[in-house]
């Protein structure tokens, strides 16, 4: 194994074929080679008993074509490669939580499904045990722990609990009682031979300074200390969300990571899944590989629309593409100084109006329903919308 003596990106003399040093690029086989000493490393790096990484690189003044992208990330990778991935192929994970966890399984790009897919694409096939129930707090999770988790005999349990304990106000769970409930859940799981990962709670509203988030901070701090005390893994999702939200542009509007301030949109689910995979020990290369897998999940980039058109009834529709396709559309929208969702809603509305007079046969949407034609129109509308989207994706 190559030693590390504090390598920094600035220490490297690395270039690609165009003599450009680039960051933010996908890692390559070098990271996997470092994790697996039997891999085919370049001879200058295959020095199990040789000098440190800094001296190897500086001595050879490497100009790399195949390996240079990973070398950019090399400093951060070397420090973590000694840590094995905690979860193993064939194990079972119970995901205990509330509506965020319930949605994490019910949504094709919910965080539970992303974790499972991210592990699988890195060669770790695990069996999920979904155990999220909307509205549940720590006392309810403790009450159903035996049935929903212990009796299923998982190897691992992730625990996502705290949002409702605070958010439900007077019907919530005070901090002292929360501490007792969480402590009991951890003790019972560990006594059953289950390893535990604690997830700090994600924000209650994306205004990080609101009263609920200020109150939630003490609950999360307890989880951080409890993870150390009880030798649990910790996915500090609260810290991850705070970092993401602090990085938002000052003039940003709407929610960035949630649909309603609490429940995850696709970006929020990805932040949660990445945090959990990092806590399990996946490195930068493995996380990149997981992210690439997520981009191709069917309907992973889904965006829903409706069209009223002078009626209390609505014509529903959706963009049903992958995250990779949505990313391409977002780039096209940005090139026209537009946001993606309003742009697609506009296209959907344009196609819906074609069914109305003067171009169509119906006076308004209500007339479509009165004629019992809504199912036929919805099918044709979705087909026409899909065709417009495919035209954009071909650009």
Q: Select the more confidently predicted residue: 123 or 48.
A: 123
Which pLDDT band holds residue 338 (cuts at 50, 70, 90)? very high
If one compares 38 and 268, the residue with the highest pLDDT of the two is: 268
Q: What is the pLDDT of residues 201-223, one digit of tens each?
A: 999 999 999 999 999 999 999 99
Q: What is the mean pLDDT of residues 163-183?
A: 97
CB atoms within 10 A of CB 297: 18
pLDDT at 370 over 90: yes
Give residues with Cβ within 8 angstroms of 243, minimum separation 6: none
Lowest pLDDT segment from 113-117, 138-142, 245-249, 297-301: 245-249
Region 34-45: mean pLDDT is: 43
> What is the pTM for the complete model shown?
0.76
Task: Tally Cβ neighbours within 10 Å of residue 186.
Answer: 21
Q: What is the arrangement of strands in the sheet containing 127-132, beginning at the earlier edge strand? A: 127-132, 92-97, 156-160, 195-199, 233-235
Mean pLDDT value across residues 247-266: 85
Q: How far apart are CA 178 and CA 198, in angstroms?
A: 14
User: What percentage of the chain exceeds 90 in pLDDT?
Assistant: 75
| Across 4-8, 73-77, 205-209, 241-245, least confident range | 4-8
Residue count of the chain, please give it. 395
**Residue-range domain boundaries for the chain:** 9-78, 92-294, 303-393
CB atoms inside a 10 Å sphere around CB 277: 23
Mean pLDDT of 345-373: 95
CB atoms within 10 A of CB 355: 23
Q: Note the pLDDT tens digit of each residue in 95-107.
A: 999 999 999 999 9
> Residues 329-336: what's their mean pLDDT?
95
Q: Exposed (0-12), middle (13-18) or buried (19+): which is 19, by Cβ within 10 Å? A: exposed
Assign 77 a pLDDT band (cuts: 50, 70, 90): very low
Q: Rounded distance, CA 121 to CA 395, Å?
A: 30
CA–CA gap between residue 35 and residue 78 (Å, rounded)? 9
State which CATH number among 3.40.109.10, 3.40.50.150, 3.40.50.1110, 1.10.490.20 fits the domain covering 92-294. 3.40.50.1110
Residue 57's pLDDT is what?
A: 38
Cβ atoms of 354 and 296 closer than 8 Å: no
């Amino acid at each position: 194994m190559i030693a590390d003596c504090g390598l920094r990106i600035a220490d490297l003399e690395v270039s690609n074929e165009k003599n450009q040093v680039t960051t933010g690029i996908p890692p390559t086989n070098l990271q996997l080679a470092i994790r697996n000493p039997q891999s085919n490393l370049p001879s200058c790096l295959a020095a199990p008993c040789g000098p440190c990484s800094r001296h190897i690189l500086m001595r050879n003044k490497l100009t790399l074509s195949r390996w240079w992208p990973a070398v950019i990330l090399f400093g951060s990778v070397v420090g973590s490669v000694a840590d094995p991935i905690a979860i193993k192929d064939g194990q079972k994970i119970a995901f205990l939580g509330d509506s965020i966890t319930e949605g994490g399984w019910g949504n094709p790009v919910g965080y539970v499904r992303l974790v499972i897919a991210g592990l699988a694409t890195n060669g770790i096939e695990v069996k999920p045990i979904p155990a999220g129930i909307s509205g549940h707090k720590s006392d309810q999770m403790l009450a159903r722990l035996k049935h929903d988790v212990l009796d299923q005999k998982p190897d691992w349990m992730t625990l996502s609990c705290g949002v409702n304990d605070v958010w439900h106000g007077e019907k919530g769970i005070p901090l002292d009682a929360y501490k007792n409930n969480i402590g009991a859940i951890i003790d019972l799981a560990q006594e059953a031979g289950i390893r535990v990962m604690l997830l700090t709670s994600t924000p209650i509203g994306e205004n990080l300074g609101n009263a609920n988030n200020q109150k939630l901070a003490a609950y999360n701090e307890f989880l951080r200390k409890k993870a150390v005390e009880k030798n649990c893994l910790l996915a500090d999702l609260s810290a991850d969300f705070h970092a993401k939200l602090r990085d938002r542009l000052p003039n940003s509007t709407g929610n960035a990571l949630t649909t309603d301030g609490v429940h995850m949109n696709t970006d929020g689910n990805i932040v949660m899944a990445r945090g959990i995979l990092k806590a399990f020990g996946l490195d930068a290369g493995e996380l990149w590989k997981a992210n690439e897998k997520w981009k191709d999940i069917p309907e992973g980039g889904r965006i829903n629309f409706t069209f009223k058109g002078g009626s209390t009834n609505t014509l529903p529709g959706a963009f049903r593409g992958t995250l990779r396709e949505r990313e391409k559309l977002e780039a096209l929208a940005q090139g026209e100084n537009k946001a993606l969702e309003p742009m697609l809603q506009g296209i959907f509305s344009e196609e819906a109006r074609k069914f109305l007079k003067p171009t169509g046969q119906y006076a308004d949407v209500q007339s479509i329903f009165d004629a019992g034609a809504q199912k036929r129109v919805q099918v044709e509308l979705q087909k026409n919308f899909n065709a417009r989207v495919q035209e954009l994706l071909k650009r």
